[in-house]
Amino acid sequence: MKLLVIGGSYFYGRVFVMLAAAEKHDITVVNRGTYSMEEFGVRQIRGDRRQSRTFELCMEDYDAVIDFCAYNPGDAAFVLEHLPGRIKQYLLISTVDVYRRGTGAVKDEDFPLETRSFPGEAGAYILGKAALEEELRRECRRREIPFTILRPAILYGPYNYAPREYLFIRMAVQDRVLPGYTDADGRFQLVYVKDAARAALLCLLEEKAYGQAFNLCQEEIIDYKLFFQGIRQAADMELGQIAMTLAQAQAAEYPIPFPAAAEETELVSNRKSREVLGMEYTAFGEGMGRTWRAFRNMFP
């Protein structure tokens, strides 16, 4: 297939491009060029997605657009307006954070989306993604272009340099120790990045995925105790523990990247992705083992 990937050089997008290239898809990546993708045998167009001249270089017709970096209202409409060629499908990467919060429900893809405004970057991110989903539906239906929306949970795995598992693996390797957050009772869901990338590949020109959204998450529900246990089981060294409360961790500037309090817990169902796409999810222990091996030798 001929694919146009927007973003695609950092983490989720990067892993998707690597897998798609391995399957011999013809790939063009549009991004700012912070990381080169040409080593994977893809064409890379460097430019700003919010400037029309960037897409003037995308003269071909594409089987699918896979959009990894749409965050603000107008981002999807801009692409559809300025692509000179035809596309057969638009695949938008959204997030499970778009669902209405604080209900206590395990949310499937038909659950209402969040409409309330929350402070800070996280609030803007949630409303931006929710607005983009509605924008994509409206614009694609108007143009009669099939669309699919993927909503991954918290992504982890190789190439993730966000301040999450990467920081704890570095702490384990360099200091031979991990924290233990004694009062953390929040729960959360993860998805191994290669599983999320495989889900995107399964959706390409798949009629069962047209007009659909899919949650992506592993089977296990994780808390901090299980998360640190996963790193310990993956590690090839003895690791000590520093027990601390969340307040102590915050004061000492230890990372707290996942929901730590019970009231922050928001859970979703992956049933639809398993039944419709045939998704199989990597178990957390196996995924963390792969992640540990990917990062292990990066640190002295």
pLDDT tens for 218-265 read 999 999 999 999 999 999 899 999 999 999 999 999 999 999 999 999
| Mean pLDDT across 146-164 | 96
Q: Which of 228, 254, 249 is nearest to 240 (CA)?
A: 228
Residue 12: what pLDDT? Answer: 96
The CATH number of residue 254's host domain is 3.90.25
> Binning pLDDT at 50, 70 and 90, where does residue 118 land?
confident
Length of the chain in terms of residues written = 300
| Mean pLDDT across 191-200 | 98
Residue 173 resides in a domain: yes
Residue 48 resides in a domain: yes
The CATH number of residue 145's host domain is 3.40.50.720
Residue 32: what pLDDT? Answer: 86
Residue 6: what pLDDT? Answer: 96
Residue 129 resides in a domain: yes
* Same domain? 11 vs 118: yes
Residue 36: what pLDDT? Answer: 78
| C-alpha dist (Å) from residue 238 to 15, 294, 299 | 31, 19, 16
Alpha carbon distance 109, 47 (integer Å): 33
Amino acid at position 41, single letter: G
| C-alpha dist (Å) from residue 118 to 86, 115, 124, 134, 189 | 37, 9, 7, 19, 21
Three-state SS for 74-134 is CHHHHHHHHCCCCECCEEEECCHHHECCCCCCEECCCCCECCCCCCHHHHHHHHHHHHHHH
Instruction: Please give the tally of structural domains in the chain.
Output: 2
Residue 272 resides in a domain: no
* Same domain? 29 vs 94: yes
CA atoms within 13 Å, Cβ hemisphere of 257: 18
* Same domain? 109 vs 166: no
* Same domain? 58 vs 143: yes
* Same domain? 13 vs 72: yes
Residue percentage of the chain with pLDDT more than 70 = 100
In terms of pTM, does the model score above 0.75?
yes
Q: Which domain holds residue 260?
A: 161-188+221-266+283-298
Q: What is the pLDDT of residues 14-70, one digit of tens each?
A: 999 999 999 999 999 999 877 778 888 999 999 999 999 999 889 899 999 999 999
Residue 39: what pLDDT? Answer: 84
Residue 178 resides in a domain: yes
Q: Does residue 165 have a pLDDT over 90?
A: yes
Residue 202 resides in a domain: yes
| Mean pLDDT across 121-149 | 96
| DSSP track, 161-220 | -SSSHHHHHHHHHHHSEEEEETT----B-EEEHHHHHHHHHHHTT-GGGTTEEEEE--SS
* Same domain? 203 vs 248: no
* Same domain? 150 vs 102: yes
Q: Does residue 143 have a pLDDT over 80?
A: yes
**Token pair in block for residue 205:** 């020109």
* Same domain? 95 vs 203: yes
Residue 238 resides in a domain: yes
Mean pLDDT estimate for the chain: 95
* Same domain? 69 vs 173: no
Residue percentage of the chain with pLDDT more than 90 = 89
User: Which of 177, 201, 216 is the last residue in one of the domains?
Assistant: 216
Residue 128: what pLDDT? Answer: 95
Residue 229: what pLDDT? Answer: 97
DSSP helix/strand/coil, 284: helix
* Same domain? 36 vs 119: yes
Residue 278 resides in a domain: no
* Same domain? 194 vs 208: yes
Q: What is the pLDDT of residues 73-92, one digit of tens each?
A: 999 999 999 999 999 999 99
* Same domain? 203 vs 180: no
